[in-house]
Structure 1
Amino acid sequence: MSNKRTSLRHAAAILALACCSFGGAQAAATITIVNGNAPNAGFNDPTPAQAVGGNHGRTLGAQRLIAFQHAADIWGRTLNSPVPVRVAASFEPLPCNAEGAVLGSAGATEVFSDFPKAPKAGTWYPGALASKLAGKDMASPGEAHIRARFNSRLGLFPDCMPGSGFYLGLDRKAGDQVDLVAVLLHELAHGLGFQNFTDEGTGEFFLGTPSIWDHFLVDIRSNKAWVNMKDEERRLSAIGGSTLSWNGERLYKVTAQVLAPQPNLAISGMAAGQAGGNHKVGEASFGPQLGLNAVTGELMPVIDQANGSGLACTPLSPANAMAVRGNIALVDRGACPFVTKARILQNAGARGMIVMENTGDPVSGLGGSDPAVRIPAVRIDKATGEQLKSVMYRRSRTSSGVIASLGVDPDRLSGTDWVRRVRMYSPEEYSPGSSVSHYSVDTRPNQLMEPSINADLMHDVIPPHDLTYPLLQDIGW
């Protein structure tokens, strides 16, 4: 059959080479890094550096390259391809401010369809995967399969997350810094094919042709695959909330090996009303993990603001302290770190903390670290929080008649739908670059391919720790 190729519109052309390439050693697939930085910049930055976490490069640029090769070798040992994968990579200024930053980005530079040995006709495949399947390099002459960029300013300038730069060690001991190896593994996965080429904002196929991703992406409500939908159906599916799942056999078979039971808030009691039943929660990265032995108490709201909300960012008043003592406290998100709220509630005698979200975003975990926190903490969505506040409106100073139990649902796996398919990220507001091409944010333990890099990630891409490679196997790796 004749084959069709195209360069992706949003992918930049490969940069001129600044120095030689570096290839992975003794791997099932060779991943070659093509250094796209100019002299004295990025990978060639001559700033002296001390060895850190097994990375013995003597300059900032050398340590960046060593970390990149370390991540490339992890993927190289995992994949199987007769065609070396070329990654055009560079460190360069990316958008950032004092509070947040773009850590990096990567993606396929070209996509191909109807090539020799293509598993599905009329379907786009990313260049590295198409080359593996065809058994020959499908890339245009001089073109890399993947283009990757990473933020050269992170943590090094006062207007770019000062103090929170990339950790260049190889030992997962990043602390309050950003683990570069984890970021690299994440972005390389995108370039290998953990991405959709359909426009999620409009629902339009790229140049009128579906991608291999569209064959496996399923709307939970209709059980309809994206490849069989119309443009408007796909557009609405991408912003449906927790409504998208991955319908691939390889991923499905190993999901239970990796994901833990879903954290759960069970509401009961004589005053529970319509709020009664089980509710999804996002678990905190601090404090004790939720388990089968639930932590139970009456639910009581903290009210320390003029508008009736409760932030718990300062020591509780005597009335609030009396209300939460021995009970589960409900507080609002905002104004201070989650660990601060938890410490204050713990000091007041609360048995647990529930944080109500202040946006319509899907439920996600609570970030932060504090070994002094000994009470469980979770996040609930805004709608659930408002419902709970409503049923607690007629309460006494020490009792609400609403019972909250923080535990797990043994019949559900975190981040999955009712038939245990892993859900994909589909926030109610379209998020370019994040929607659809990531796992849901409520997987437990955290997964490499969630839209944000979490501090507890392993440098792993396979079960029993991670589900990235099984999804890539579904699309042909």
Structure 2
Amino acid sequence: MRTQQFSRTARSLVAAACALTCLAAEAAAIKIQSRDPAGFGFNDPTPAAPVGGNTGTTLGEQRMNVYRYVADIWEKNLDSDVEIVVSAGWEPLACTATSATLGSAAAWNVWRDFENGKPGTWYPQALANKLAGENLSNGQPDDGTGYGNVDIKTQFNINLGQPNCLAGSGFYLGLDGNAGDAVNFAATLLHELGHGLGFSVVSVQTSTGYRLNASATAYSPTGLPSIWEGFMYDNTARKSWLEMTATERRQSAINPLQLAWTGPNAVAGAAITLAPLPVVKATSPAGAVPTTPYTASSFGPAVPRSGKLGVLATITAQAGELGPGCSPFDAANAAAVRGKVPIINRGGCTFAEKVKNAQNAGAVGVVLANNVAGSFAPGGADPTVTIPSVGVLQEDGERLKAAVAAAKAYGSRTQPGAVTASFAIDPNRKAGADLAGRPLLYTPNPLIGGSSVSHWDVSAVPNLLMEPNISDDLTLSVSPPKDLTLPLLKDLGW
């Protein structure tokens, strides 16, 4: 991320609550500047058959068609008198046969102390230009790259889908969302441009809590805040990030399920977008068991909103396994889970492998417990998995296992007491929001650089565009009642 500064007479940005009906914007203009050389990326002449509404006849043309289509979505949702300039390119990004960096985007310049901005506060350039009513980088000398003055810089993985780069799962270039096992480029690009427009903490180093200093030369404990920070409220510390020390910000960035967004547009949007909180309810002869929020796995059958899950069970460690449930179950574990729902800790292998091993042993469902603090969405794919599975917090998994152990003493000699679990919803809570209904930001522990704080939490239902993972059920909407991206950007000043 490059930084620039521009000093003018400053006055505070006045933030006002806005009814959701005001989210419809007038218009903005987005200019796409390709930095790809001839024959590469957007200029790739490889013939391609039209797909999913994309009528391009070469690979490069189809890529640019998706880019233009997504840029048009943002144009219709934003209001700015200043053209938004995006530098776009395709590059060989980090990847292996089983994982890959799809792409990235960020504000390439950030500004402070400009007209109509909040004094002493960093803004991404596209938003700063909108508020100032002019292109703040106009007339600034380029840094030699050819894109030194752009608002947003993006790059996407040219090798995706090749044998050494998430083999077989390349970008889908259709516009209809029917990506199948491929990666939906339209949804990925919509997400990344959201970051470039301002869906990011921008000028805070989350690993230290330091901020970018006034001269834009380094991060320091006494640096200037970003416009993002005034809407971040930590329910544990009971402070916004504007009120915190660097140490407190660093701790808040790894405080799972406790960092909420307080902007009035996003809070209002959450009320009509987020679903009631799905929970596992457990009954035990040993006494009450707290309801347990969960996130459904991306594989296996759909989890019902209500109905019996089954009798909970635990498993024991097996010699030589990579992690709990990672090897075919031995006789003792198979007997323990047959017709039941084992609680299996995360780690050692994929979630789908754990669930498949439990299924092969006769389990009727699986509760996957995190092995670190924070929520998670059990991802993966295996079409042969036919039993439901859900992910729960580390502490909730431990509580459920303790309840199973405590219940055994309440049975008979031949039939130990058992904990029975069922699916339900908590009508008083929203999935992905705190107790006050404010949407939660992603704060896993340990920190995930580049993802922590600058995304919605993965506990949100439905899946949101600006979560850290691109889900296959996303639409290309950025507004309630389907999404919360635009309301957050409106909170920032868009």
Q: Which interval holds the TM-score relative to the shorter structure?
A: 0.7 to 0.9
Stretches of structure 1 that go unaligned for 5 or more consecutive residues are 8-25
8 Å CA contact 1:302–1:312 kept in 2: the answer is no
TM-score where L is the length of structure 1:
0.86
- Would the aligned equivalents of 1:167 and 1:180 in 2 still touch at CA under 8 Å? yes
Q: Name the counterpart of 1:434.
A: 451
Structure 2 counterpart of 1:251: 266
Q: Does 1:170 align with 2:175?
A: yes
Counterpart CA distance in 1 for 2:382 and 2:334 is 21
Pick aligned residue for 2:154 from 123, 148, 153:
148
> Does residue 385 in structure 1 map to residue 397 in structure 2?
yes
In the TM superposition, what is the alpha-carbon distance from 1:282 to its structure 2 partner?
1.7
Which letter does structure 1 place at the counterpart of 2:277?
Q
* Contact kept? 1:268, 1:277, Cα under 8 Å: no
Counterpart contact for 2:374–2:394, Cα < 8 Å: no
For structure 1, which segment, 375-384 or 421-430, has the greater mean C-alpha deviation from structure 2 after superposition?
375-384
* CA drift at 1:252: 0.5
Instruction: Give the structure 2 partner of residue 125 of structure 1.
Output: 123
Between the aligned partners of 1:329 and 1:388, the Cα distance in structure 2 is: 10
Match in the other structure for 2:420? 403
Distance 1:177 1:361 in 2: 31
Show structure 2 runs of 5+ residues with no match. 7-24, 143-148, 214-222
Question: 2:5 is paired with a residue of what secondary structure?
Answer: strand
State the shift of 1:132 in Å: 1.1
Q: 1:85: how far off?
A: 0.6
Match of 1:284 in 2: 297
Indicate the SS of the match to 2:67: helix
Are residue 364 (structure 1) and residue 376 (structure 2) matched? Answer: yes
**Aligned equivalent of 1:55:** 54
Please list, as runs of the form range in 1=range in 2, the aligned pairs for 1:197-212 lying within 5 A after superposition: 197-207=203-213, 208-212=223-227
Equivalent-residue separation in structure 1 for 2:382 and 2:275 (angstroms): 23
Whole-angstrom distance in 2 between the partners of 1:91 and 1:57: 18
| Per-residue deviation, 1:381 | 3.2
Q: Distance in 1 between the 2:287 and 2:419 partners?
A: 5
Distance 1:312 1:294, change over 3 A: farther
Name the counterpart of 2:325.
311
CA contact (8 A) 1:301 1:310 kept: no
> C-alpha separation between the residues in 1 aligned to 2:343 and 2:171?
35
For residues 394-424 of structure 1, give each alpha carbon's deviation from its aligned partner in whole angstroms, at most 9, with x where no partner exists: 7488645223223222211111111111110
Matched to 1:189, the amino acid is G
- How far 1:89 sits from its partner (Å)? 0.8
Taking a change above 3 Å as real, the CA distance of residues 240 and 337 of structure 1, as seen in their structure-2 partners, is closer
Deviation at 1:265, TM superposition (A): 2.0
- CA distance in 2 between counterparts of 1:303 and 1:310 reads 8
> In the alignment, is the contact (CA less than 8 A) between 1:266 and 1:277 conserved in 2?
yes
- Cα 1:91/1:392, change in 2 over 3 Å: same
- Counterpart of 1:70, as a letter, is Y
Q: Deviations over 1:228-282 (max 9, x none)?
A: 2111111111112222110100001110211112221223302468xx2122322
Checking the alignment, whether the CA contact within 8 Å between 1:313 and 1:335 is kept in structure 2 is no
Give the distance between the partners of 1:459 and 1:388, measured in 2 at CA: 38
Q: Secondary structure at the match of 1:392?
A: helix
The answer on whether the counterparts of 2:257 and 2:375 sit within 8 Å (CA) in structure 1 is no
Q: Distance in 1 between matches of 2:283 and 2:179?
A: 41
CA contact (8 A) 1:168 1:181 kept: yes
| Bigger Cα displacement from structure 2, 259-268 vs 217-226 | 259-268
The 8 Å contact of residues 439 and 449 in structure 1, kept in 2 or not, is answered as yes
Cα distance between partner residues in 1 of 2:414 and 2:390:
23
Q: Which residue of 2 aligns with 1:463?
A: 480
C-alpha distance in 1 between matches for 2:98 and 2:356: 23
**Among candidates 121, 134, 159, match of residue 136 of structure 1:** 134
Q: Is the CA contact (8 Å cut-off) linking 1:272 and 1:401 kept in structure 2? A: no
Q: Matches of 1:247 and 1:261 in 2, distance apart?
A: 19
User: Which whole-Å deviations, capped at 9, do the CAs of 1:445-475 have from their partners, x for residues lacking one?
Assistant: 1111111111211112111111111000000
Match of 1:355 in 2: 368
Q: CA distance change for structure 1 residues 303 and 67 in 2, over 3 Å: closer, same or farther?
A: same
Kindly report the root-mean-square deviation, in angstroms, between the aligned alpha carbons of the 2 structures: 2.7
- How far the C-alpha of 1:285 sits from its partner, in A, is 2.6
CA deviations over 1:64-94 (Å, ceiling 9, x no partner): 1111111111111111111111101100111
CA contact 2:341–2:367 (8 Å) conserved in 1: yes
Shift of 1:318: 6.5
Question: Partner of 2:308 in structure 1?
Answer: 295
Cα deviation, 1:43-65, whole Å, max 9, x if unaligned, reads 11222222221112222211111
CA distance in 2, matches of 1:307, 1:204: 43
Aligned-pair distance for 1:288?
A: 5.0
CA contact (8 A) 2:285 2:418 kept: yes
Alignment check: 8 A CA contact 1:290 1:408 kept: no
Gap change, CA 1:122 and 1:177, over 3 Å in 2: same
Q: Deviations over 1:118-146 (max 9, x none)?
A: 2x222111111111112222224361111
Letter in 2 for 1:126: P
Letter of the structure 2 residue corresponding to residue 248 of structure 1: G
1:269 matched to 2:292? The reply is: no
What TM-score results when the alignment is normalised by the length of structure 2? 0.83
Aligned counterparts of 1:42 and 1:122: Cα–Cα separation in 2: 40
- Aligned residue in 2 for 1:97: 96
- Residues 48/272 of structure 1: CA separation in 2 closer, same or farther (3 Å cut): farther
Cα 1:400–1:96 change in 2 (3 A) is: farther
Classify the secondary structure of the residue corresponding to 2:179: coil
Q: Secondary structure at the residue paired with 2:127?
A: helix
Residue 203 of structure 1 aligns with an amino acid whose one-letter code is G
**Letter of the 1:214 counterpart:** E
Structure 1 residue 356: Cα displacement: 2.6
- Paired residues of 1:312 and 1:341 also in contact (CA < 8 A): yes
Which residue identity does 2:55 align to in structure 1? H
Structure 1 residue 190 displacement after superposition: 0.5
Aligned counterpart for 2:344 among listed residues 311, 331, 352: 331
**Whole-angstrom CA distance in 2 between matches of 1:285 and 1:388:** 22
Q: 2: CA distance between counterparts of 1:400 and 1:174?
A: 47
**Partner SS state of residue 186, structure 1:** helix
Instruction: Give how far 1:103 is off.
Output: 0.9
What's 2:9 paired with? none
Q: Give the equivalent residue in structure 1 for 2:112.
A: 113
Q: For each residue in 1:17-42, what CA deviation from the matched residue of structure 2 results, as whole angstroms up to 9, or x when unmatched?
A: xxxxxxxxx98111111001111121
Seen in structure 2, the aligned counterparts of structure 1 residues 361 and 62 have a Cα distance that, compared at 3 Å, is farther
What SS class does the counterpart of residue 87 from structure 1 fall into? strand
SS of equivalent to 1:6: coil
> How many positions carry a matched residue from both structures?
450
Q: Which residue pairs with 2:15 in the alignment?
A: none
Percent identical:
43
Q: Residues 153 and 6 (structure 1 numbering): CA distance in 2 closer, same or farther, change over 3 Å? A: farther
